[in-house]
């Protein structure tokens, strides 16, 4: 209870309010009642006001821009300007602790004669290289800065900041922590040189939409005292969208010439990687891709004079086979290329690219990474091995990123295999609204030998297999490098076999006696992988002819999700004999209704070199009919 002395008759009306529902007596130390003086009022303790936390923000931030551009909301909620080390409100350790002056943290970012020149927002940026007036040199300084807690506002859910330096490991970078200090996001730069922010390429963004109304804090850290052991950074702020350098990144002035491939109409609307000049490419390079000697450094065998000739969009395509003027041979070169972050636009949600090489395992291929923490969203690993470069339209690949519309991602092309088939070829990575929807073979022969068919058997044919030389599927093992159009027929091409083969078109396939019986009946192994196609609601049933095998998974057919190669359907025959399709009892089907509008591909495989180690098949197509004839 509070006793307030009245100082003016103008406040006397408050007396009545102060007495309501209150004990009005005053007692002396002995407990005797004492009448209150006329000029006193007794009132209850007030209910404390709880301020609404609208999110931590620096005040009076300098808005000068040097060699940098900002978004329109870059000064609405600034979490860290770092303009004055002595008044900065972040918690400092190590080299950041006890700054001697306002400019103590500038390091090389305060050296205007440095080449390239520093870029910054406000009065200056930070670099641990030569921090504290170069007291410890460039790499040696280590320490952390920890921001106050701030609330993620629904109106500004994107954390934007400038950051450079480091070598790609976790030893330098930034983390976002929740109010219990659990890490929820992180970023580690890998630019190394220069040791400070120098342009808009250093803008980074982390989407904190999932943490709206939660309290978070930022930790900036330099834990590396060795090579590239420095970090440059500036201007952390919360924004409506990602800052400059990250809004729908695309290459400009892309060469639109084409050799041995065809393109969709919007193939140049948002090009993420043309790879036309290794020396001016904007992707981050490691390993064999680093420090290219000239524009052709990444071309390798991807030339028009190679047999088969390399296909390309624009001036050049890439292969790690014989790259860098064949300095390491074909398989040995390893390394990666990582794109700048870019926004998945709802109008262009499909990532399309040309890719070949590898042996089907994960050491070579392409990853789609979430820009905020480099977590993997999608993976593609080619398994074409030879030729070691792109050679035609069968190398087009597509990943549907519709689920990530509105988020920032990066693409990483990687070769981590120094052994057999240890090369990857890539070209023309771009975002498009057009994928390989309703893929259809053209001009399919509709002859019918010994089979009953449905009305739509030839509407959407994924694989006719009528000509091994022109087949659009990716081949490995016994299917690779067919000598003639009929190389894959095997026993399905023997008309006097008992029982006689059945097929649609010119012929069917059997691995038994494939390639003119060069390995016998059981020994041949290999696979065929279809182009990517979209499951259409009008034709959701995958129908095909298949026989052979002994019922285990070593021969058969799989349906794979085109984004990550996860299996969504499978069939393994168990007829063993005959080793080829011979009638309507060999019609099989997989219902893909649950995957309508998804992109898939079909893998036919023979991995069994022993008894019943063969598979016979023909005419893979999409149908509206679920009942076998």
> What number of residues does the chain have?
629
Contact 385, 331 (CB under 8 A): no
| Structure confidence at residue 284 as a pLDDT band (50, 70, 90) | confident
Name the DSSP class of 253: S
Over the Cα atoms of the chain, what is R_g?
34
Alpha-carbon gap, residue 242 to 220, rounded angstroms: 19
Strands 172-178 and 270-273: unpaired
Q: In terms of domains, do 221 and 291 share one?
A: no
Tokens of 110: 């305060």
The reply to whether 249 falls in a domain is no
With tokens 């016998």, the residue in question is 520
Residues 395 and 322 in one domain: yes
Residue 32's pLDDT is 56
Query: How far is the CA of 84 from the CAs of 78, 90, 99, 135, 364, in angstroms?
Result: 14, 11, 10, 19, 47
Question: Is the pLDDT score of 66 beyond 90?
Answer: yes
Report DSSP state, residue 110. G
Q: Chain centroid to CA 480: how far? A: 31
C-alpha torsion sign, points 375, 569, 465, 481? positive
pLDDT digits (tens, 9 = 90+) for 375-425: 899 999 988 888 999 988 888 898 989 888 777 789 999 999 998 899 999
Burial of 122 (0-12, 13-18, 19+ CB in 10 A): buried
Within-domain flag for 20 = yes
Would you put residue 105 in left (φ > 0), alpha (ψ -120 to 50) or beta?
alpha
Same domain, yes or no, for 12 and 71? no
Same domain, 122 and 202: yes
Average pLDDT over every residue of 247-270: 84
Question: Which pLDDT score is estimated for 627?
Answer: 64
Q: Which residue has the higher pLDDT, 5 or 104?
A: 104
Evaluate if residue 23 carries a pLDDT over 50: no
Q: Are residues 220 and 76 in the same domain?
A: yes
Cα separation, 78 vs 88, in Å, equals 12
As a whole number of angstroms, the distance between CA 210 and CA 279 comes to 39
**Last-in-domain residue among 183, 206, 239:** 239
Q: Is the pTM of this model over 0.85?
A: no
pLDDT digits (tens, 9 = 90+) for 450-481: 999 999 999 999 999 999 998 888 899 999 99
What is the average pLDDT across 540-559?
92
Confidence of residue 362 (pLDDT cuts 50, 70, 90): low
Q: In this structure, are 407 and 507 located in the same domain?
A: no
Average pLDDT estimate for 278-307: 91
Check which CATH number belongs to the domain holding 597 and give it.
2.60.120
Q: Where is the domain boundary, 211, 239, 267?
A: 239
**Cβ-count burial of 438 within 10 angstroms (0-12 exposed, 13-18 middle, 19+ buried)?**
middle
Flag whether 420 is in a domain: yes
Render pLDDT for 179-200 as a digit per residue (tens, 0 to 9).
Answer: 999 998 888 888 888 999 998 8
Q: How far is CA 427 from the centre of its chain?
A: 17
Report the C-alpha gap between 397 and 205 in whole angstroms: 28
**Mean pLDDT of the residues in the chain:** 86
Which structural domain, as residue segments, surrounds residue 348? 258-432
Quote the CA–CA distance of 72 and 346 in Å, as a whole number: 23
pLDDT for res 169 = 66
The answer to whether residue 573 is domain-embedded is yes
Residues 128, 38 share a domain = no
The predicted structure's pLDDT at residue 21: 38
The answer to whether residues 241 and 345 touch, using CB atoms and an 8 Å cutoff, is no
Task: Write down which residue in 379, 405, 432 finishes a domain.
Answer: 432
Place of tokens 């109010």: 179
In this structure, the answer to whether residues 117 and 146 fall within a common structural domain is yes
Percent of the chain with pLDDT over 70: 87
Residue 523 has pLDDT above 50, yes or no: yes
Number of domains the chain is built from? 4
- Are 298 and 415 contained in the same domain? yes
- pLDDT reported for residue 433: 79
Alpha-carbon distance of 146 to 78, in angstroms, equals: 14
* Number of Cβ within a 10 Å radius of residue 69: 14
Do 424 and 459 belong to one domain? Answer: no
Domain presence at residue 443: no
Residue 3: per-residue pLDDT = 28
Pair 401, 475 in one domain: no
Structural domain includes residue 245: no
- Would 252 be classed as within a structural domain? no
Residue 36 resides in a domain: yes
* 90 & 35 share domain: no
What's the Cα-to-Cα distance from 184 to each of 180, 207, 226, 522, 572, rounded to whole Å? 11, 11, 27, 53, 43
């Amino acid at each position: 209870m509070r006793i307030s002395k009245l100082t003016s008759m103008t406040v006397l009306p408050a007396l009545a309010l102060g007495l309501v529902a209150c004990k009005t007596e005053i007692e002396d130390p002995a407990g005797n009642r004492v009448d209150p003086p006329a000029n006193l009022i007794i009132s209850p303790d007030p209910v404390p006001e709880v301020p609404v936390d609208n999110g931590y923000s620096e005040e009076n931030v300098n808005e000068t821009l040097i060699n940098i551009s900002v978004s329109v909301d870059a000064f609405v909620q600034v979490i860290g300007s770092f303009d004055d080390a002595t008044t900065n409100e972040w918690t400092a350790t190590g080299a950041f602790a006890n700054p001697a002056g306002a400019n103590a943290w500038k390091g090389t970012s305060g050296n205007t004669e440095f080449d390239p020149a520093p870029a910054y927002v406000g009065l200056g940026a930070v670099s641990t290289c030569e921090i504290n007036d170069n007291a410890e040199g460039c790499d040696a300084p280590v320490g952390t800065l920890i921001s106050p807690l701030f609330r993620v506002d629904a109106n500004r859910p994107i954390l934007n900041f400038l950051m450079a330096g480091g070598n790609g490991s976790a030893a330098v970078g930034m983390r976002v922590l929740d109010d219990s200090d659990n890490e929820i996001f992180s970023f580690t730069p890998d630019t190394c040189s220069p040791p400070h922010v120098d342009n808009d390429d250093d803008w980074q963004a982390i989407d904190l939409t999932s943490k709206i109304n939660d309290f978070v804090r930022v930790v900036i850290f330099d834990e590396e005292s060795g090579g590239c052991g420095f970090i440059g950074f500036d201007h952390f702020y919360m924004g409506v969208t990602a800052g400059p350098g990250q809004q729908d990144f695309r290459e400009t002035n892309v060469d639109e010439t084409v050799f041995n491939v065809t393109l969709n109409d919007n193939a140049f609307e948002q090009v993420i990687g043309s790879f036309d000049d290794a020396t001016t490419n904007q992707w981050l390079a490691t390993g064999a891709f680093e420090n290219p000697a000239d524009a052709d450094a990444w071309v390798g065998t991807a030339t028009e004079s190679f047999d088969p000739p390399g296909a390309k969009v624009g001036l050049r395509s890439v292969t790690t086979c014989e790259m860098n003027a064949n300095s390491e041979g074909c398989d040995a070169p390893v390394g990666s290329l990582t794109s700048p972050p870019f926004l998945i636009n709802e109008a262009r949600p499909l990532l399309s690219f040309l890719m070949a090489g590898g042996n089907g395992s994960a050491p070579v291929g392409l990853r789609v990474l979430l820009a905020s923490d480099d977590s993997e969203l999608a993976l593609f690993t080619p398994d074409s091995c030879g030729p070691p470069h792109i050679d035609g339209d069968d190398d087009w690949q597509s990943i549907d990123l519709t689920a990530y519309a509105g988020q920032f991602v990066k693409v990483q092309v990687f070769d981590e295999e120094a052994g057999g088939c240890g090369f990857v070829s890539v070209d023309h990575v771009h975002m498009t609204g057009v994928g390989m929807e309703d893929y259809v073979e053209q001009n399919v022969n509709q002859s019918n030998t010994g089979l009953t068919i449905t009305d739509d058997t030839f509407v959407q044919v994924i694989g006719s297999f009528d000509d091994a030389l022109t087949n659009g599927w990716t081949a490995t093992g016994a299917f690779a490098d067919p000598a003639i159009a009929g190389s894959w027929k095997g026993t399905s091409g023997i008309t006097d076999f008992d029982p006689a083969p059945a097929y649609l078109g010119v012929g069917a396939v059997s691995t038994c006696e494939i390639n003119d019986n060069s390995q016998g009946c059981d020994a041949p192994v290999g696979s065929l992988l279809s182009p990517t196609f979209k499951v259409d609601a009008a034709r959701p049933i995958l129908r095909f002819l298949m026989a052979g095998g002994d019922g285990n998974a070593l021969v058969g057919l799989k349906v794979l999700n085109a984004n990550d190669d996860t299996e969504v359907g499978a069939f393994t025959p168990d007829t063993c004999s005959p080793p080829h399709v011979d009638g309507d009892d060999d019609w099989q089907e997989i219902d893909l209704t649950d995957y309508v509008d998804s992109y898939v591909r079909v893998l036919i495989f023979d991995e069994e070199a022993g008894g019943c180690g063969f598979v016979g098949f023909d005419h893979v197509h999409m149908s509206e009919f679920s009942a076998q004839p």
